[in-house]
Amino acid sequence: MNKIVLAIGGNAIIKEGQKGTIEEQQQNINESCEPVLKLVEQGNTVVITHGNGPQVGNSLIKSQMAESVIPNYPLDVLDAETEGNLGYLIQQAFKNKMTEKNINKTVATVITQSVVSQDDPAFENPTKPIGPFFTKEEADRISAEENVSFVEDSGRGYRRVVASPKPTRIVEKEAIEALLEKDITVVTAGGGGIPVIEENGMLKGVEAVIDKDFASALLAADINADYLFILTGVEQVAIHFGTPQQQNLLEMTIDEALRYMDEGHFPKGSMGPKIEAAILFLKKGGKNVVITSIDKLQEALEGKTGTRVTL
Ligand SMILES: Nc1ncnc2c1ncn2[C@@H]1O[C@H](COP(=O)(O)OP(=O)(O)O)[C@@H](O)[C@H]1O
Ligand SMILES: NC(=O)OP(=O)(O)O
């Protein structure tokens, strides 16, 4: 049977147009359980990673709005908060579904730290969209008042952007492997893990949000996963996305992917990192990487849909 890493986008947990209440997030996570549990029932070892873009952006707004009464928290601590609270919601939803189906397994969340380089140029060039979507007028007003940057996000509106350095090491990798050896379903690398730098061998949090696709690719390669599924809002990656010329892709080689990237088909804050993460996984020795939506997981595993990136 296979070891499968499933990376679930933060935008699948708070969907476009939703405010992000806990009930909405629980409902969305519940909907994700069925296809994932099917993999567990088939005997696969499953690792669930997830995004935190909408959630950590919301936490940042909450923290800033409450600043006059309680201390503001740095972004790494907010990353940790979202990794904890989403981990809780995910492990509870999966455990309940397993109980319903008489699957006697433990689900556990591992809070992870992801080491990044202090010199990563991403600190000077914020690209990671977080939080809610705003109109252009709202984004212009907020950026003038608060000195924060916004980008247009795949035709869905404007979102605040923060630095997103590349993870180089998952500190808690051995803990994850130990749980997998005990056949425990692991939820981990949430929000890409908490960004930390190493100074004289010591770890220290830094203010950023790691792309969970990169952290998932790194983790999947490090634990020798057979499959990395990058699950997002679309069934397949496309060129000319969102235009009348849109063409969905069942497969593309790394060279084709890099050419499409150069031609601007994969935006930096959305599809771009997924493609780069897929390439990273393959270059680190990974074999199978597919980008698709969670409801198409089984069909994608059978090669019928999704977009497979190949060497
Ligand atoms: N070339 C493309 N092909 C398919 N989807 C694309 C493309 N370019 C941008 N997108 C958009 O990017 C989204 C994935 O990015 P995002 O929602 O930020 O990821 P996540 O699911 O990790 O939160 C897709 O749902 C789609 O709306
Ligand atoms: N941290 C992260 O990659 O979050 P999203 O998947 O929500 O963008």
Cα gap 8→208, rounded to integer Å: 19
Closest ligand 1 atom to 155 CA: 27
Which amino acid type is present at position 130? I
Q: pLDDT tens digit string along 66-97?
A: 999 999 999 999 999 999 999 999 999 999 99
CB of residue 234 inside a 6 A radius of ligand 1: yes
At 10, the pLDDT band (50, 70, 90 cuts) reads confident
Residue closest via CA to ligand 2's atom 2 equals: 51
With a cut of 90, say whether residue 100 has pLDDT above it.
Answer: yes
Over residues 202-206, mean pLDDT: 98
The pLDDT confidence band at residue 225, using thresholds 50, 70 and 90, is: very high
Residue 87 pairs with which residues in a beta bridge?
A: none
Tokens 């084709």 sit on residue = 256
**In the structure encoding, which two tokens stand for residue 31, read together?**
């909907």
Say if ligand 1 is within 6 A of residue 12 CB. Answer: yes
Which pLDDT band holds residue 270 (cuts at 50, 70, 90)?
Answer: confident
Q: So what's the pLDDT on residue 16? A: 81
Cα distance between residue 238 and residue 265, in whole Å: 8
Ligand 1 lined by 179 (C-beta under 6 Å): no
Give domain limits for the chain: 3-117+165-309, 127-162
Q: Residue 134 region, left (φ>0) first, then alpha (ψ -120 to 50), else beta?
A: beta
Task: Give the global pTM.
Answer: 0.95
Lowest pLDDT segment from 5-9, 148-152, 255-259:
148-152
With beta carbons less than 8 A apart as the criterion, state whether 223 and 85 touch.
no
CA distance 286 to 96: 32
Active site amino acids: 10-11, 128, 212, 274
Q: Which atom of ligand 2 is nearest to the CA of 50?
A: 6
Percent of the chain with pLDDT over 90: 90
Task: Give, in words, the CATH class of 3-117+165-309.
Answer: alpha beta
How high does pLDDT run on average in the chain? 95
For the chain, report the end-to-end CA distance as a whole number of angstroms. 23
Q: For the segment 139-161, what is each residue's pLDDT rounded down to a tens digit?
A: 999 998 888 899 998 788 999 99
